[in-house]
Structure 1
Amino acid sequence: MKKFVYSLIICFTVFQITSCKSEAKKEAETTKEEIKTEKKAAFILQDANNSINWVAYKTTEKTPVKGQFNKVNITAGGEADTAKDAINNAEFSIPVSSIFTKDTSRDFKIQKFFFGVMDQTELLSGKLVLENDSIGYANLTMNSVTKKLPFKYTLNGKEFSLNATMKITDWEAQNALDSLNTACKDLHKGADGVSKTWNEVALNITSVFK
């Protein structure tokens, strides 16, 4: 009887050891699988150093007013094994609250009297499309209007840079321009005494991948 009990204990111990090894092996395989799954793309647009700079114009002499947006969110795409593929078809949104011109009073006026009178004013959004190695367009949504914004671009290694000029009225936002000009009437007067806010905004966007 003792021998029988002893044999049972040995069998049970061997079974437990084998079972533990089997579980450990499965666990190791799962961990390897998870590591494989978590492998990141070589180029991730959200993680790049993204700069969105713009130049607007005031006065008859076309005095430049420089600014930027300090935040951009990549909402779809933006990850690939090449920089070009990471940019192509990437979708983005830009909170207008992230506007920055080094003048808090101006920032407030742009948010309230320009973006604030548009429809759906919280975000600018769009999709980047690269047509060839030097030109593309953004399907840009502003004031609940989506229009193509053509741009020229360069891509040198990890650095992408695009330049575009947008006409605000293409997004049906003349009332926003008029509103801003009224709020900044005296500040937008030139030597001729005429207050003017231009319809044109120059854009320069750069992304430097890590």
Structure 2
Amino acid sequence: MKKIVYSLVICFTVFQMTSCKSEAKKETETTKEEVKTEKKAAFVLQDADNVINWTAYKTTEKVPVNGQFQKVNITAGGEADTAKDAINNAEFSIPVSSIFTKDTSRDFKIKKFFFGVMDNTELLSGKLVLENDSIGHANLTMNGVTKKLPFKYTLNGKEFSLNTTMKITHWQAENALDSLNTACKDLHKGADGVSKTWDEVALNITSVFK
């Protein structure tokens, strides 16, 4: 009789241990599933196809010089259930090292003699604010100065497009502008023999959400 009772106790103990392990495994699998199915925002600005085009001007005839920044990082915000909410209040930083004009010599001069002369300008940083359905502004920091840069924009489905013109002198960057003009003196001469680098830069930024 004792042997029978002893056998039953052992069987019951083994069953309990197996059951506990099975429950623990189920809980672990459920936890993993919950992590995998964590909801992602419908619109993520960092994952969008972001293109930053700019146009600067040289000579008294105002000849355009086109370029891009090939990298932008979204440092805060930028995720929401609508495209507009994802853009509104998004904070960004743009490495000036990502500048690209299809001319390596020009890229080098802009980095060294323009941005390199400014204070704390390895990055251009700011925050986007949409005021209504067509206008907004960026609180843009450059040369250690933060200024409001007004812009107009359109938002069609998943495509956001922003257009504006910034005056470099509003960011107290006259020295940087003079430095670049000196480095490019002959290249910025027009038919009149005058070397000029304009303080205006047109910006066109597009973001196409995936």
Q: TM-score, normalised by structure 2?
A: 0.92
The CA distance in 2 between the partners of 1:126 and 1:112, in whole Å, is 22
The CA distance in 2 between the partners of 1:2 and 1:106, in whole Å, is 95
Question: How many residues get paired?
Answer: 210
Q: Percent identity?
A: 90
The CA distance in 1 between the partners of 2:136 and 2:37, in whole Å, is 32
- Range with greater deviation from structure 2 (14-23 or 45-54): 14-23
- Range with greater deviation from structure 2 (5-14 or 77-86): 5-14
The CA distance in 2 between the partners of 1:60 and 1:194, in whole Å, is 7
The CA distance in 2 between the partners of 1:53 and 1:209, in whole Å, is 17
Q: Which residue of 2 aligns with 1:79?
A: 79
| Partner-residue secondary structure (3-state), 1:201 | strand
Q: Which of structure 1's runs of 4+ aligned residues deviate more than 2 A?
A: 1-26, 28-38
The CA distance in 2 between the partners of 1:89 and 1:161, in whole Å, is 16
Following superposition, the deviation at residue 107 of structure 1 comes to 0.1
Q: Which runs of 5+ in 2 are unaligned?
A: none
Following superposition, the deviation at residue 173 of structure 1 comes to 0.2
| Partner-residue secondary structure (3-state), 1:50 | strand
The CA distance in 2 between the partners of 1:8 and 1:146, in whole Å, is 79
Following superposition, the deviation at residue 176 of structure 1 comes to 0.4
Following superposition, the deviation at residue 39 of structure 1 comes to 1.6
The CA distance in 2 between the partners of 1:166 and 1:71, in whole Å, is 20
Following superposition, the deviation at residue 126 of structure 1 comes to 0.2
| Partner-residue secondary structure (3-state), 1:74 | strand
| Partner-residue secondary structure (3-state), 2:36 | helix
Following superposition, the deviation at residue 31 of structure 1 comes to 2.4
Following superposition, the deviation at residue 14 of structure 1 comes to 6.0
The CA distance in 2 between the partners of 1:134 and 1:175, in whole Å, is 34
The CA distance in 1 between the partners of 2:23 and 2:144, in whole Å, is 56
Q: What is the CA deviation profile of residues 158-177 of structure 1, one whole-angstrom value per residue up to 9, with x for unaligned ones?
A: 00000010000000000000
Following superposition, the deviation at residue 3 of structure 1 comes to 3.8
| Partner-residue secondary structure (3-state), 1:185 | coil
Following superposition, the deviation at residue 7 of structure 1 comes to 4.3
Following superposition, the deviation at residue 121 of structure 1 comes to 1.9
| Partner-residue secondary structure (3-state), 2:60 | coil
Q: Which residue of 1 aligns with 2:146?
A: 146
Following superposition, the deviation at residue 27 of structure 1 comes to 1.6
- Range with greater deviation from structure 2 (11-20 or 39-48): 11-20
Q: Which residue of 1 aligns with 2:120?
A: 120
Q: Which residue of 1 aligns with 2:3?
A: 3
The CA distance in 1 between the partners of 2:172 and 2:23, in whole Å, is 64
Coordinate RMSD, CA, aligned: 2.0
| Partner-residue secondary structure (3-state), 2:169 | helix
The CA distance in 2 between the partners of 1:59 and 1:89, in whole Å, is 37
The CA distance in 2 between the partners of 1:142 and 1:4, in whole Å, is 85
Following superposition, the deviation at residue 37 of structure 1 comes to 6.6
The CA distance in 1 between the partners of 2:156 and 2:14, in whole Å, is 62
